[in-house]
Structure 1
Amino acid sequence: MSTKPRGCRHRTLPVLLILSALAPLPAAAHFQTLIPSTDMVSPETGTEIGIDLRFTHPMANGPVMEMGVPTRFGVLAGGEHRDLKASLQPVTVEGRTTYQTRYRFKAPADHVFYIEPAPYWEPAEGKMIVHYTKVVVDAFEAEEGWDALVGFPVEIEPLVRPYGLWTGNSFRGIVRRDGEPVPFAEVEVEYLNSDGAVAVPAGPFATQVIKADGNGVFSYTMPRAGWWGFAALVEGATPMTAPTGESVPVELGGLIWVRTVDME
């Protein structure tokens, strides 16, 4: 004779519905994107590129978040900085402000494009976010200057040339704060899943999390072709004033984007 309490079957469905509602959605980290139309330029491919800038969740393919007017936008090439902020054009995506620009290359050099975005208020986390972001584009196979530092408060120094990478290559870098390595820094990694082709089976798959070693060095092997973002996160030393008027902590991020290509 069964000892199962009466009514147990009738309670199963509501319990399952509750558990389903409580199940976490795929985790989504904030990433400032800085994506050029290509990471290598030659006369054969054309000497002009487009650059797209958004604040979003790359692996989740959105949503897009509002960007204020960037504090800085420029390029470092041949040891010289060039201010490109005036070239930025606001573009509305999903009802939010993003930016685009175009750039024409004139001489061989590795070009480090970079942005210091306006601080972003994240009420859900009770903090301001500033992600100092860069990407390297090689012009005419110069292959020099790809490891040049912009001089951000927090920045990733690449230890692997950040272009000409095959799928399955490993990317290594040093997390630096005010120029000094950050021991055991936390680095978040996301794939730019722009077409939504990659299904995320569970939250931890959306944002990969790795820690640097005692010298601030980290490594990650990229399993799929496309753009990969690496974000080294530290807490800012000075609080900021939120739109609510209160003093809140600041998340500083040093980001770099690299692209991998499948072997034919």
Structure 2
Amino acid sequence: MLLFLIFFFLFLAINRSYAQKPIVFTTDHPYGKVNAEKVFTLAYGQPAFANFLDFARPERAFLITQNGSKLIQPLRKEIFDPWFNKPRIAFSLTVRPELKGDYPLCIETKNMIEPGDVVRKHFVKTVLHVGQELGWDRLCGFDVEIKPYTRPYGLLPGVVFWGRVLYQGEPISEGSITVERLRVKAFEKLPKLETEEINTPILRKTTLLREDGSFFVSFEEDGWWVVTFTIRRGVITYGNSDYPYELSTHLWVYVFPKKEEGSLKIQTKKKK
């Protein structure tokens, strides 16, 4: 176990692709009802490894409604980190939709210093669906944002998802998208090679952007998935030092389990 943990943290130290990121999920699915509360958990860590860390209160969180936008007050809560067997600081976001339609939930973090000696600001989005397909492609207005062209809910394993990355409203033609699933399994159950090393490429997929900023990805399993894009934006002073500055945008979607369909039996009567 000790050697396994040592390998895990050495891997994260040298591989920036598995940087920490905000994690958004519900206990079930992102569907709601009119005038009923829906609670989202906002945490921080490495979703592919179910490793949670303490999170700072976000700079702002708001819900895009059918009549504008509404600020949301994050409430502090605890989330259990299985790696260190201890509670971590997270937040709950409670929304109450008043009309049918789709509600983008938008979150912007403060600047954060992260592994690799980089300062990063995160933009996070997911969509709450309430009874009627209306407005799921609306933007939060982030500096860098993923615009979905495939409806970001009602998804099943194997679906092809189409999106586009925008920077200040314009498509980005270079860079790569990463895709991870929030895995809540114990680390002993992570996929491994014959050497007992974690088979990390299985845990995270990468795809290059097309010239028009678009991309296509798929989700093989059910559960919560995050699509991420990061762009370097020069240098920023943090504390008394200068650091590379990056903007990361994340779109969280939920994939429903695929249930086996029963065969349809058609009964016929033989004519006499």
TM bucket by the smaller chain? 0.7 to 0.9
Q: Does 1:134 align with 2:129?
A: no
- Assess if the C-alpha contact under 8 Å between 1:25 and 1:203 holds in 2: no
1:154 aligns with 2:144: yes
State how far apart, in whole Å, the 1-side matches of 2:7 and 2:223 are: 33
- CA-to-partner distance for each residue in 1:131-156, whole Å, 9 max, x for gaps? 1000001112x211100011100000
Alignment of 1:91-130 (within 5 A): 91-93=77-79, 94-122=86-114, 124-130=115-121
Deviates more, 1:166-175 or 1:24-33: 24-33
Query: 30, 43, 52: which one pairs with 1:39?
Result: 30
Superposition deviation, residue 251 in structure 1: 1.7
Contact 1:211–1:218 (CA<8 Å) still a contact in 2? Answer: yes
SS in 2 for 1:59: helix
Q: How big is the shift at 1:263?
A: 2.5
Matched, 1:145 2:142: no
2:57 to 61, 69, 80: 69
TM-score by length of 1: 0.82
**How far did 1:221 drift?**
1.0
CA contact (8 A) 1:77 1:145 kept: no
On the 8 A contact 1:175/1:185 being kept in 2, the answer is: no
The match for 1:253 is: 248
Q: What's 2:38 paired with?
A: 49
Aligned alpha-carbon RMSD (Å): 2.4
Counterpart AA for 2:69? H
Residues in 2 aligned to 1:50 and 1:23: alpha-carbon distance in whole angstroms:
32
How many residues are aligned here? 237
Q: CA deviation at 1:24?
A: 6.2
For residues 23 and 260 of structure 1, do their structure 2 counterparts lie closer, same or farther at Cα, with a shift above 3 Å needed? closer
Question: Share of identical aligned residues, percent?
Answer: 23
Q: Which deviates further from its counterpart, 23-32 or 51-60?
A: 23-32
Q: Which runs of 5 or more residues in structure 1 are unaligned?
A: 1-16
Q: CA deviation at 1:41?
A: 2.0
Q: Is the 8 Å Cα contact of residues 67 and 120 (structure 1) preserved in structure 2?
A: no
Quickly say closer, same or farther: Cα 1:32–1:39, change in 2 above 3 A: same
Secondary structure of residue in 1 paired with 2:48: coil
Q: Secondary structure at the match of 2:202?
A: helix
Task: State the partner residue of 2:213.
Answer: 216
1:60 corresponds to 2:49: yes
Q: CA deviation at 1:179?
A: 0.5
**Contact 1:29–1:207 (8 Å) recurs in 2:** no
